[in-house]
Amino acid sequence: MRSVAPNGDELTYRPPERPGIPLRRPVARPEPLLFAAHRPWRERRADFVPLALTQQESLALKSWCKSHGLTVNQFFAVALAESFAEATGRSEVTLYTAVSLRRRYAQGAALPDVGCFINVLNLPLRLDRGDLSGHARDYAAALERADAAWRPPVREHAAIRRAVEETAAAGSAPGICITNVGVVDPALGPHADRVTGYRTVVNRTGANYGVVLHLGTLGGVFATALAFGTPSTDRDTVRGVAKALHDRAVRPDAVRQGEVQEV
């Protein structure tokens, strides 16, 4: 059995290097996302809207990202933000991004690789340029700087409990979120060929985010879903986000130029 530090405060965090590229457009913190309806906890539920992409569409999107100098995660993060802004009539959105903390600690050899070992960075984005790749580069620069500046918070358990209680009682969400588990094929090992479909979704009953894009890849196909809490977030709004996001994923240049037509 491995021996680990009894308290995270005793671990030595090693942040990534701070990037030298300055932010082009600092953005003020957008307003929180008011719930469509605020209900007692016992009346809340979790829901999700799947987003289907074929292998051909997935490969084409990867190729588009490569040709524009973007990662898949950068594309989906900004496509989500743009789609949410479009569906809700906004020009600014706070986007939260899950970032892995593996290999960030000096005691890495003593830490397990399983489990949810992440930080979530929040970035205010302005989405008024009509240029997805430009928004993605702004997002990438802001994410790098935020990641380099972040340090593990030190909080007593009482403070953590209060934060949970405040989130459960809130009438709004601070923003939207993307989380990407990456390519899952290696985790399946010799069983990968037997798996015909895959999707990861987290229960969002508490609506700590307005909507969350869960992203993963299996067999070269993007497996995506939008998770949200009801009735905090309106399902029709999420469906609108899903359609706009799908449009961007299958026709990124057409959406950038404002040429996508209803079908």
71: tokens are 């990662």
| Terminal Cα distance for the chain, rounded | 57
Q: Which pLDDT belongs to residue 226?
A: 97
pLDDT of residue 154: 84
List of residues 6+ apart from 244 with CB closer than 8 A:
82, 83, 86, 87, 255
**Tokens in use for 229?**
């809490």
Strand segments (E) across 13-162: 33-34, 45-52, 92-100, 118-126
Q: Rounded to whole angstroms, how far apart are CA atoms 147 and 175? A: 18
Name the most confidently modeled range: 58-62, 138-142, 166-170.
58-62
Only one residue has tokens 């671990």, namely: 11
Write down all domains in the chain, each with its CATH number in brackets.
30-256 (3.30.559.30)
When pLDDT is cut at 50, 70 and 90, the band that residue 7 belongs to is low
Average pLDDT in the chain: 87
Beta bridge partners of 214: 179, 225
Please, how many CA atoms are within 13 Å of residue 205, restricted to the half-sphere of its CB?
A: 8
**Coil, strand or helix: which one is 105?**
strand
Secondary structure element (H or E) that encloses residue 61, with its range? helix 55-67
* pLDDT tens-digit series, residues 89-109: 999 999 999 998 888 888 776
pLDDT tens-digit profile of 97-147? 999 888 888 877 666 666 678 899 999 999 987 889 999 999 999 999 999
How much is the pLDDT for 198? 81
List for the chain the helix, strand, coil content (%; round to 5). Answer: 40, 20, 40
At residue 19, φ and ψ (nearest 5 deg) are -70, 150
For the chain, give the number of residues. 263
pLDDT at position 29 is 85
Query: Are the C-beta atoms of residues 123 and 97 closer than 8 Å to each other?
Result: yes
User: 257 falls in which pLDDT band (50, 70, 90)?
Assistant: very low
